[in-house]
Amino acid sequence: MRKNPAPELLERGASLDEVAESARGCTACDLYKNATQTVFGEGSARAEVMLVGEQPGDQEDVSGEPFVGPAGKLLDRALEEAGIDRRKTYVTNVVKHFKWMPKGKRRIHKKPNREEITACRPWLEAEIALVKPRVVVCLGATAAQALLGASFRVTKDRGKFVEWDLEPMVTATVHPSSILRADDQRRASEFAALVADLKGVAGALK
């Protein structure tokens, strides 16, 4: 393993595409060994909104694109209802490799640990520095705690804009995958709450 090269790339004035290309060969933690490929962020290089999840899933690992699976499709719906054009956003994850464990023939998501999140964070910081979004939206607890500290609780402070150590405004909401896991009775209300949080983001951009 080696250190994450993102800070040096930024110092040299590398572009977002150059940073993404470098990330393809990242070995800063061991997750690359079992992943198909690095899944870097994607979207408008001048996006006003950056949406940050935990890590790519099975479909993202295969395709090499973030948020293209069921959770991504649900996020698309929520953004549309909130009045945010997905094509004008930038979507990415705190961790760029899929961490999984086998269950029969399936690959099941496994939560990344602190070391893996720390090793990967410079890529995310580079994305924020180069895209320069006005708002960063953390999707789920892992993303929120990675950026805002271990004490942050999405259940308590979702939808609020909070102070942090970087320039864009930042807020947090649930990850779309949590809505997919909810039972039928709760799914509609959870989706409506996600849309309400994203409407708050849309309002902050006006």
pTM of the predicted model as reported, rounded to 2 decimal places: 0.97
Residues 12-22: tens digit of each pLDDT: 999 999 999 99
Hey, which residues does 52 pair with through a beta bridge?
Answer: 92, 138
pLDDT value for 166: 86
Q: Which pLDDT value is given to residue 42? A: 98
The predicted pLDDT at position 64 comes to: 98
Domain boundaries, given as residue ranges, for the chain: 6-204
Contact 51/93 with Cβ under 8 angstroms?
A: no
pLDDT of residue 2: 84
What is the per-residue pLDDT for 101? 96
* N residues, the chain: 206
pLDDT of residue 22: 98
Residues 6+ apart with CB under 8 A from 66: 39, 40, 41, 42, 53, 56, 60, 72, 91, 92, 93
Q: What is the dihedral of CA 119, 120, 126, 131, to 10 degrees?
A: -160
SS3 for the chain, per residue? Answer: CCCCCHHHHHHCCCCHHHHHHHHCCCCCCHHHHCCCCCCCCEECCCCCEEEEECCCCHHHHHHCCCCCCHHHHHHHHHHHHHCCCHHHEEEEECCCCCCEEEECCEEEECCCCHHHHHHHHHHHHHHHHHHCCCEEEEECHHHHHHHHCCCCCHHHHCCCEECCCCCCEEEEECCHHHHHHCCHHHHHHHHHHHHHHHHHHHHHCC
pLDDT (tens, 9 = 90+) of the chain, 206 residues, equals 689 999 999 999 999 999 999 999 999 999 999 999 999 999 999 999 999 999 999 999 999 999 999 999 999 999 999 999 999 999 999 999 999 999 999 999 999 999 999 999 999 999 999 999 999 999 999 999 999 999 999 999 999 999 998 889 999 999 999 999 999 999 999 999 999 999 999 999 99
The percentage of the chain sitting over the pLDDT mark of 70, rounded to a whole number, equals 100
> Which pair of tokens denotes residue 202?
């849309």
- CATH superfamily label, 6-204: Uracil-DNA glycosylase-like domain (3.40.470.10)
